[in-house]
Every structure is written in structure tokens, then in C-alpha cells.
Amino acid sequence: MNHNWKIVRKVLFWLVLVLLGASVSRIFYGLRNRNYEMGLRHWAKINLILNQIDNNYVDSIDKRQFSEKLIPLIMNELDPHSVYMPPQILQEAEDELQGHFDGIGITFNVPNDTAIVISIIASGPSERAGLMTGDRIIKIQGNTVAGVGIPQDSLVKLMRGPSGTKVNLDILRDGEIVPFTITRDKIPVKSVDVAYMINDTTGYVKLSKFTRTSYAEFMSVVPGMLDKGMKKLLFDLRDNAGGYLDQALLLSNEFLAKDEMIVYMEGQHRPRQEFTADGSGSCRGVNLYVLINENSASSSEILAGAIQDNDRGTVIGRRSFGKGLVQEPVYFSDKSGIRLTVARYYTPTGRCIQRPYEKGKEDYLFDIYERYQHGEMMDVDSIPHNDSLKFVTKKGKVVYGGGGIIPDMFVPIDTVGVTDLLVKINKQSLQMKYALEFSDRFRGELRGIKDLKSLDMLFRRVNLENDFKTFIQSKGIAIPQKEWEISGDIIMTQVRAISGRYSSLDDNAFYPIYSEIDNVIQKAVMAE
């Protein structure tokens, strides 16, 4: 009897649990449905208006065009980084971050209304077809594009297209028109612009964006620099507007110890998610300097914030952009899409580095100009600090949230050496125009340049300074001796760097030469 009663009690117990669970589920489901229905009711007026227009408006409506105009207005009511992207814009944005695009593989400039090839991607379609630096693009697909005022971005679109398709170019070379047919292909987009040793122990890496290939590119150059004796690394994220989060996490991981936090994110509908280092990074023993400026944003700020908050290295430059919002892509069947902000980033100390945007997108976008007006670009004391957003790292360093990463070492915009002569030359882009003329005269020798020493020997043989002075005087610009004494080194460094870009070294000439007048790099090199 007792045994049977125990069985009955067990059955009753489990039956009560099942019934209770069912009741709780019905209550939860009912609440969820009610919240969903309430949410729909809040949007009901919009639906009613659209239905009224659809059924009763006096004229016919192009619904597609109507939607394309309406959606951006809706997104405009959200934060500055929630955006609608039509198909073409979305595709271009995706291509840029994927690390490749379909095209012919050249870099060109349009200094005098004619596209001039600056560099050619090694083993790409243009190199295989025989294009050379200095070539002028006169026609594309039989249509004249030189001297007719076509914008540079339009020229890019004319030359890009699906892999395997062909594009016909008429090229002006050495006074002759030469026709080329080039088969488009996948073109890699490098995000590591340059990586080299500044001296025996100091390395320099410039990352322009966080693409799908950024970590792989970084890891392809850093081991060699470590083998050469790199003890100190200048990681340049200036003007890097961000990109993929996973690449920022992977790169941060290279510098941090096991279990050190990189970043966490949280939102109204997104629970807190933390990302920490696994301790396997190859650069944990390197003395690290992260270079930032007012255009360093998003993933750049994640990496800089992780390094700063973990007391891992020194952030140097000027206050970063202040983008701490997480976008999630939503794709539509017509190949358009939105990037919707779903959470905020927080640095390891708990800082949200998103700057305020409550005053609207216009004020938000013009914040950089405000920084100039308030003197922030010149004086560290002009950087705003909000004591209610003050945080402290493990080693006691005070850091602030509420609007970008404030560097540990501030470097102002460099105005040393600025004269009327420098302004006149810059305004007319005479350094670029001279470099183009120089590259035409010495095209064969520039193609054979293999190192900076050989390039410098060419400059010395030509007597570059006198040659450039003769050039600018031919353009009607006088050269006051006192102004040249103040600005001459800056001007000639620019000339050498830009001219070096026309050699086979490309960016491996430009950046090392230009670093001679880069006050942020120079301060980081001298820092201990």
C-alpha cells in the first residue's frame, strides 16, 4: 500500500509541474504577444497613411521610388550610423571591406583632367596586359575620358566590372596612342599600406582599414620585423575609420595577455557580450605605440581603447572620432540593405567612447570643425573632460569616456614651417604636378629602383631641389629666400615622397620619406 502511494505522489508531483509549466508558458507567450501587438499598434498610423495613399491618392505613385525616399527619412531619425544603403552603395561598401573587388588593378590620379596611372598591382590584369606607370587613359570602351571633365569616381566605375569581362582602353604613351584590352579579375585591396623598420629596433605598420584580410596581412609582415630585431612597434591607425570587429579583436589579441578584456558590447535587445584575449599573441613583449587622430574610428578605437585600458602601451596623437555604436547589417531581396545600430561598445574599464549625437546629425558631422575652432587640435588643455565619465585603469591611469579616445601623449597639428610660399605651392598641387613630369622624364630608371638608397641617388644626380625650383618658377611663382629657408625642407620632403611613389617602391618609398616631417611619428620614435 505504502509503495503504491509513493508512486501516486510522484505522478501527482510531475503532473503539477507540467501543468504549472504550461501555465507559465501561456502567461509568457501571452505577454510576448501582447508586447508585439502593442508594438504594431505604435506603427499603425504609418501603415494607415500608406494604405490611404495607395487606395485614395489622386495620382498614381511609383511605390519603389516612394520607398527609396521614405526609408532614409526614417533612418535619419535614429543615430548617425544607422543608415539605408541602396544596392550600388551597399555593394561598393561590401567590396571595400571584403579585401577585394572586381577590376583591372591600377591606381591612378587626375591632376590635369586626364587619368594618369600611378601604380599597377603586381600580377594583376593591367600588369599582365602591359600597362605602365605614367600611362595616360584617353578612352574607355571607345569613349573619350581625357579632357572632358569626368569625375574620378566615374572613371573608377567605368573600369570596374565583373571578373572575366573585358574593358578596352586607349592609352597615351610617349606621344603615341596604344590600345589595350584588359580582362577584369579579382583585385586584392590591401589594408596594411606599409610595414618597415624605421631603425634597428623600431618597426612601423600603417593600417588603413579593418577588412577581412587585415589580420592576415599584419601577420604576414610582423614576424619578419621581429626577426630583424623589432623591440618597439608604431601601429598607425590615423585616418582609419574602422571596419570588421573580428579583425580588431584578432589584432588586439596579438598584444594582450590571457584573459585581458578587449571590449564588451551591450544594447536594449542585446545582452552583454565580452571579448577577451587568449594569451597566444606574438607581439606581447613588444613596446607598443598606437597612433590615432580625429579620423580614427570604430574598430580603431576598440584597439586603442583595449591597449590604453589594459596599460599595455601608449596611445599617441589627437583625440579619436568617437564612434562607439555597433551596426548589424540587414539585407533585402533587391540587394539593398540597412546598417542598424543594435548595441554600444565599451572599453575594458567600462567607457563608452561614443560622442553625443542628441543635437542631430548635422552637429554630429561638424564636430571635427568645432575641435579646430575650440583649439583642441593645437592644445591638449582644450580637450573636453567629463568628470562624471572618469575611469581608472588597473595601474591607476585616469581615462575618460563620452567622446573618443584621448591619447596618453598629445601631438598637435604641425604648423611649423608654414609660409605663404608653402601655401601657394600646396594650393596648386605643384608637388604632384612636378612628380608627374619627373616620372615622365625618368620612367625607365624609376621602374628599376629597388631600394630607398637607389632612389636617393637618382634625386641627387638630378639635383632635385634646383630642378623643382626651376619648375615652380616656370609656373610664375617667385621663391623668397627667407621663406624657402623656413619651408624648403618640408616642400622637398613632399616632392621626394610623391616622386618616389612613381617608382617600383610605390608606398614603400612614400611613407618612409614622408615620415621625416611627420611630427606624430617623430615623437613616437623618440618616446621611451
Name the pLDDT band for 16 (thresholds 50, 70, 90): very low
243-291 pLDDT per residue, tens:
999 999 999 999 999 999 999 999 999 999 999 999 999 999 999 999 9
Give me the pLDDT at residue 443, please.
87
372 has a pLDDT exceeding 70: yes
C-alpha–C-alpha distance, residues 441 and 471, integer Å: 13
Secondary structure class of 370 (helix, strand, coil) = helix
pLDDT, one tens digit per residue, over 468-492 is 999 999 999 999 999 999 999 999 9
**Main-chain dihedrals φ then ψ at residue 99, nearest 5 degrees:** 95, 10
426 and 282: one domain?
no
The dihedral sign for the CA sequence 16, 22, 23, 25: positive
Question: CA torsion, points 79, 84, 88, 94, in degrees to nearest 10?
Answer: 50
User: Does the structure show a pLDDT above 70 at 172?
Assistant: yes
User: Which pLDDT value is given to residue 132?
Assistant: 85
**pLDDT at residue 13 in the model:** 46
pLDDT at 5: 47
Instruction: Give exposure, 106-129, as e/b (b: 16+ Cβ within 10 Å).
Output: bebbbeeebbbbbbbbeebbbbeb
Are 505 and 442 members of one domain?
yes
Q: What is the mean pLDDT of the chain?
A: 89
Boundaries of domain holding 297:
192-410
What would the grid cell of residue 501 be? 611613389
Does residue 54 surpass a pLDDT of 90? no
Which grid coordinates belong to 275?
Answer: 571579448
In a domain, 253, yes or no: yes
Over residues 161-183, mean pLDDT: 91
CA 424, 426, 427, 430 torsion: positive or negative? Answer: positive
Predicted confidence (pLDDT) at residue 20 exceeds the cutoff of 70: no
Bridge partner residues of 345 (DSSP): 265
CA 160 to chain centre: 21
The verdict on residue 85 lying in a domain is no
Mean predicted confidence (pLDDT) in 124-149:
89
**Domain assignment present for 131:** yes
Q: Are 221 and 288 within one domain?
A: yes
Task: Provide the residue count of the chain.
Answer: 528
Identify whether residues 121 and 196 lie together within a single domain.
no
Q: Nearest Cα to 448, choosing from 505, 527, 406, 407?
A: 505
Q: Which helix (H) or strand (E) holds 298?
A: none
Once rounded to an integer, what is the mean pLDDT over residues 206-234? 96
**Tell me: the pLDDT tens digits for 380-422?**
999 988 888 999 999 999 999 988 999 999 999 998 899 999 9
φ/ψ of 176, rounded to 5, equals -115, 145
Greater pLDDT, 514 or 112: 514
Report whether pLDDT(34) > 70. Answer: no
Cα-Cα-Cα-Cα torsion 245, 250, 255, 261, nearest 10 degrees, comes to: 60
Of the CA atoms within 13 Å of residue 334, those in its CB half-sphere come to: 12
- 235 and 348 in a single domain? The answer is yes
Which of 380, 410, 440 terminates a domain? The answer is: 410
